[in-house]
């Protein structure tokens, strides 16, 4: 029995990056031997075991054969005869197909170290094209290592293009797709993930609503970058720069989908794009079964982001309706995330990335003013039931009028 550290742990150590998760592969062992040593089995499809003390994953060396469509369409074979090289060749990228023994000796049959130095994301073997999930994984690695100058190798991008055209991407489950998308959006350069998907034709299969934004112009006075798709990538980039949570990044990606529906004859204006985009945002949310907080925020940002940009001009009654739509009285955090997404939208414009966004503090102040209206005095005046709700609305509107007057002077 020989045990090797494999994959990401080896890659990140060689890159000088912190190693978080460690995966191990065991060569020359049977499942019975692993159980006898106290390892606990966890793999339903192939033999993976948890170490009795560290809890880390140890997988028996295995080969795989394509047996169906999609990410799960594989038959695995694990036995003591499977070599380390045979196990490594079934991995996605050369930089993930290296192993280290307990003396730190590197096994690198597919030149992963060389590709690390060349800053290339290259597939290990033609079998790469058998797993559609790898299209998303490679795009995610491109986003993760963009800072270091990594690029997708031309022949790998071509394989990704073939996969995108094959219909295999449609076989991915919403759960698997969302897992990769959500992880990619939380990388330091999530815009690279979207760009790589677009470069290989996967974006128009997975997110045609986002793909449709590229080539759609906007008024240069407000959007010096002009192209709606380029703007979306910039907004996403800003959301990462400002360390926004996943819900905000998801909303940033989807906020302008309505612009993809504007007739060419109306370009570069996009009248009512906020409302038009809602059905598309809903469509994307449902396709990937995004978590509820991501779904809700994306819809609200899509509908109201221009309200935020015009916040200082809004009438008190419109402000009151906006605050009510977000239920700021019970869910203040969601409104805070809305403001953050709108600020990223404003900053995601060519040459305007550092411009201040006074609307953010103005909206926060409005929410504070409305929330400061106390219920108790109204109860003491005998209001109850629906009448109490109406009285509360009137008092909040009064507070917002006073707030607006104070800021108009």
pLDDT averaged per 10 residues, the chain (length 409): 92 92 90 90 80 90 64 63 90 95 94 97 92 96 97 97 93 95 98 98 98 95 94 98 98 97 93 95 98 98 97 96 93 96 97 95 96 86 85 93 89
Burial class (CB in 10 A: 0-12, 13-18, 19+), 292: exposed
Helix (H, G, I), strand (E, B) or coil at 60: strand
23 is in an annotated binding site: yes
Integer Cα distance of 164 and 202 in angstroms:
5
Going by DSSP bridges, is the β-strand pair 99-100/106-107 parallel, antiparallel, or unpaired? antiparallel
Q: Which stretches of 111-249 are assigned E, i.e. beta strand?
A: 120-121, 151-152
Integer Cα distance of 179 and 164 in angstroms:
18
pLDDT at 76: 63
Integer Cα distance of 293 and 296 in angstroms:
5
pLDDT at 75: 59
91 is in an annotated binding site: yes
167 is in an annotated binding site: no
Total-model pTM? 0.91
334 is in an annotated binding site: no
115 is in an annotated binding site: no
pLDDT at 73: 47
The residues, any chain, with a CB within 8 Å of residue 382's CB and separated by 6 or more, are none
140 is in an annotated binding site: yes
pLDDT at 67: 47
pLDDT at 46: 66
Which pair of structure tokens corresponds to residue 114?
Answer: 């060389």
**Number of neighbours of residue 94 by Cβ within 10 angstroms:** 26
Which pair of structure tokens corresponds to residue 87?
Answer: 């196990």
Integer Cα distance of 230 and 351 in angstroms:
13
122 is in an annotated binding site: no
* Residues 135, 206 contacting (CB under 8 angstroms): no
């Amino acid at each position: 029995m020989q045990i090797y550290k494999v994959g990401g742990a080896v890659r990140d150590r060689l890159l000088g990056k912190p190693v978080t998760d460690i995966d191990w592969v065991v060569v020359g062992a049977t499942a019975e031997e692993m159980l006898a040593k106290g390892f606990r089995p966890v793999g339903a499809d192939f033999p993976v075991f948890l170490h009795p003390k560290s809890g880390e994953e140890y997988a028996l060396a295995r080969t795989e054969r394509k047996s169906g469509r999609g990410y799960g369409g594989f038959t695995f074979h694990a036995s003591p005869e499977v070599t380390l090289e045979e196990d490594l060749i079934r991995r996605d990228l050369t930089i993930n197909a290296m192993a280290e023994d307990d003396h730190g000796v590197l096994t690198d049959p597919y030149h992963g170290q060389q590709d690390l130095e060349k800053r290339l994301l290259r597939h290990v073997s033609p079998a790469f094209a058998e797993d559609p999930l790898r299209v998303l994984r490679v795009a995610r690695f491109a986003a993760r290592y963009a800072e270091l100058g990594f690029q997708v190798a031309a022949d790998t991008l071509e394989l990704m293009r073939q996969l995108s055209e094959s219909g295999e991407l449609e076989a991915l489950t919403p759960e698997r797709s969302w897992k990769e998308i959500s992880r990619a959006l939380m990388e330091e350069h999530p815009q690279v993930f979207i760009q790589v998907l677009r470069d290989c034709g996967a974006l128009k299969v997975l997110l045609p609503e986002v793909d449709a934004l590229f080539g759609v112009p906007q008024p240069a006075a407000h959007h010096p970058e002009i192209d709606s798709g380029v703007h979306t990538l910039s907004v996403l980039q800003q959301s990462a720069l400002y360390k926004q949570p996943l819900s905000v990044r998801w909303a940033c990606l989807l906020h302008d989908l309505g612009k993809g529906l504007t007739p060419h004859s109306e370009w570069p204006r996009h009248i009512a794009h906020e409302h038009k985009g809602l059905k598309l945002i809903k469509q994307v949310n449902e396709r990937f079964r995004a978590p509820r907080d991501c779904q809700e925020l994306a819809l609200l940002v899509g509908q109201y982001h221009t309200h935020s940009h015009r916040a200082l001009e809004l009438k008190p009654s419109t402000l009151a309706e906006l605050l009510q739509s977000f239920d700021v009285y019970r869910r203040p955090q969601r409104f805070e995330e809305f403001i953050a997404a709108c600020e990223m939208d404003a900053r995601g414009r060519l040459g305007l990335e550092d411009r201040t966004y006074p609307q953010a503090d103005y909206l926060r102040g409005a929410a504070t003013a409305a929330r400061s209206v106390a219920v108790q005095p109204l109860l003491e005046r005998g209001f109850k039931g629906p009448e109490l709700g109406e009285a509360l609305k009137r008092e909040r509107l009064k507070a917002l009028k006073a707030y607006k007057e104070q800021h108009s002077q």
